[in-house]
Amino acid sequence: MSEKLVYESDRVFSVFGFAMSHGVLLLRSGKSNETPTRVDIMFKDVRAMEIRTWFKGLKVDEVDATYLAGQHSNPEEMLEPGPKVYALTSSGWRGFIMGGIVRFNEDDGDLFDPSAIVEPPPVRGGLWGDCKRVGDKTLLLSSANCCNQAYLLKNSF
């Protein structure tokens, strides 16, 4: 199996958003006392994935399709010409993302500020999931962050 290092960091990342219609997955590492910047990792055209919701340290390698062999979710049957396979490694755990391009951005934005690399949704409604109020928390059903996605939706019309 061939591997090509795409990105590596010892920062903590979490799943920040997913848009099913374009298969856009956003992983984010916010500012902290140790890191004065925010980092976004965006995968486009995601077809299949096996990931955790947060990562303590993250390594992304572009690998060949043999990496998918033996996965219980059988992602090999979804592989078409074009998408790539990315192996994700974090603290003794390995997963994958099958998709198109991956982009990175480091900036001084706050945790809930819109991402510089994610384009606003092209259509109204639900593209970034549905928000639901539970007690004193607002949850985005397909993500850990409702405020950012609601901002993107509000400002895209």
Range of the structural domain that residue 88 is part of: 3-117
Among residues 124, 132, 107, 152, the alpha carbon closest in space to that of 17 is found at 152
Counting as low any pLDDT under 50, the low residues of the chain are: 122-157
In a domain, 82, yes or no: yes
Tally of domains within the chain = 1
Inside any domain, residue 123: no
Residue 149 lies in a domain: no
Cβ pair 15, 51 in contact under 8 A? yes
For the stretch 18-36, pLDDT in tens is: 998 889 999 999 999 999 9
The predicted structure's pLDDT at residue 147 = 41
Maximum alpha-carbon separation in the chain? 48
